[in-house]
Amino acid sequence: MVAKMPPSLNQALATADKQPWYQLLFPPLLEEIYQRDTAAHRIRRYRLFGVIGIVVFMLYGLVDRFYLVDVYQHIWIWRWLLLPGFAALTIFCSFWRRFLPYYEYSVVVASTAFALGLIWFFSLSHMPTAQHYYGGVMLCLVFMMFGLRIPFRLACYSCAVTLAYLGWVLWSLHFLDEAARSLIFILMLSSVLLGLLGLFQLEKEERRSYLLALALQRDHRQLQQGFKYLQQISTVDGLTGLFNRRYFDQQLHTFWERRLQQQVDIALLFVDVDYFKRYNDSQGHQMGDETLIKVAQVISRHAEPWQGCAARYGGEEFVLLLSGCNVQQTMALAEQIRQQVEGLALAHPSSLCSQVVTISIGIAVAHASINQQPDWLVNTADAAVYQAKKQGRNRIVAMHSCQPLAS
């Protein structure tokens, strides 16, 4: 049976579907599930793009030799060793389970450190080419937002810190004229705002897709439950809980084919409640229904050990289909069922064979080598129960071909 989605989660889905456009976070329960379900994918992305970012950052160290000649001897260790080493350490830590809750924050810190490092690099230099390094800072922030795709909230913090430091550095760079400094900061601010807008939209769409997938899963579960329910009501007898005749007919053909493949005997017990019409007339239909339920419970207990199929054939008639059960075993099993039903001691004052409810059982066994159609088994068992009723009821008759064996 497919588990139902908790009502609280259904409510969270409904709430999330109606939240305003500017709100990213789901209701608490749904947000927790979202973070848990997407964590593995995010970590894989951080690892892959983190390695790419480290390699690109180090390759740009070749540019430093020409653009920042005057300070290269002070910054190369940061470009080639310290900052890449710190970023690599965060990637290695992602394989440590206890560090995972903090891993996303370490990614943000590392990527922000790269951007701040570039600003520090060109703040030290007095080379005219240093002013172009703001382009590298812009690339770092764009990579953080659309390569690593860190959460929008954390990206805002990182961009705010980077812009604040850039503004302070530009304010103190007196060798640049005011117009150049203003242009650099305006370009950076515009790029960051547009980038954050795009990141917000991207995360919004990602969350909307997740919400849709979750809703589809919920609908799929409900469809499965409905399908299972329809299957159940189409195969199970509503009164006794046993399988119905339609399902029995299907299983009969399955058992018959399996008999040929596995070369095993199959047996059919045809059970009829003795003088049930008289019982219904004297005790009432409600008592009649309760009696059928109790008889069905006795029969069903003997189906599972033999991987059998117990079904209500119609009215007061039941069938028990067994696999790998020979004539002697079937006779012994039928006698157990007959005694257990009699042992229920359900008063039947109008019976002509006993003072309590009893049953008559007809048995047919199909050997592995018999060359007949499946209907032969039902017809033979039906003929056997007819003989049992003819001989006085409350008894068992097994038929092999046309020769009855009474018990």
- Residue 346, helix vs strand vs coil: coil
Q: Are strands 359-366 and 317-323 parallel, antiparallel or unpaired?
A: unpaired
307 φψ region: left (φ > 0), alpha (ψ -120 to 50), beta (else):
left
Q: Which two tokens stand for residue 80?
A: 């080639």
How far separated are the first and last CA of the chain, in Å rounded? Answer: 43
| Angle value at C-alpha 119, between 114 and 122, nearest 5 degrees | 125
Q: What would the pLDDT profile of 187-235 be if each residue is shown by its tens digit?
A: 999 999 999 999 999 999 999 999 888 888 888 888 888 887 777 678 8
User: Rg of the Cα trace of the chain?
Assistant: 40
Tokens 């001691």 sit at which residue? 345
Sign of the CA dihedral 223, 226, 227, 228?
positive
Specify the pLDDT at position 404.
45
User: Residue 397 forms beta bridges with which residues?
Assistant: 362, 406
Q: What would the pLDDT profile of 9-28 be if each residue is shown by its tens digit?
A: 777 777 777 888 888 888 88
* pTM > 0.75: yes or no: no
Sign of the CA dihedral 173, 177, 178, 181?
negative
Class (C level, CATH) for 245-406: alpha beta
Q: What would the pLDDT profile of 260-281 be if each residue is shown by its tens digit?
A: 788 888 999 999 999 999 999 9
Specify the pLDDT at position 400.
63
C-alpha 179, offset from chain centre: 60
Select the more confidently predicted residue: 262 or 290.
290
What burial class does residue 294 get, using C-beta atoms within 10 Å of its C-beta: 0-12 exposed, 13-18 middle, 19+ buried? Answer: middle
Specify the pLDDT at position 5.
55
Q: What are phi and psi of 170, to 5 degrees?
A: -65, -35
Cα 242 to Cα 239: distance, rounded to the nearest angstrom:
8
- Residue 357, helix vs strand vs coil: coil
Among the listed residues 128, 106, 120, 47, the one whose alpha carbon sits nearest the alpha carbon of residue 77:
120
Cα 158 to Cα 151: distance, rounded to the nearest angstrom:
11
Tokens 């805002």 sit at which residue? 156
Q: Which two tokens stand for residue 160?
A: 């705010």
Domain ranges of the chain: 7-220, 245-406
Is residue 14 within 8 A of residue 6, CB to CB? The reply is no
Q: Which two tokens stand for residue 392?
A: 């006085």
Among the listed residues 362, 364, 368, the one whose alpha carbon sits nearest the alpha carbon of residue 256:
368
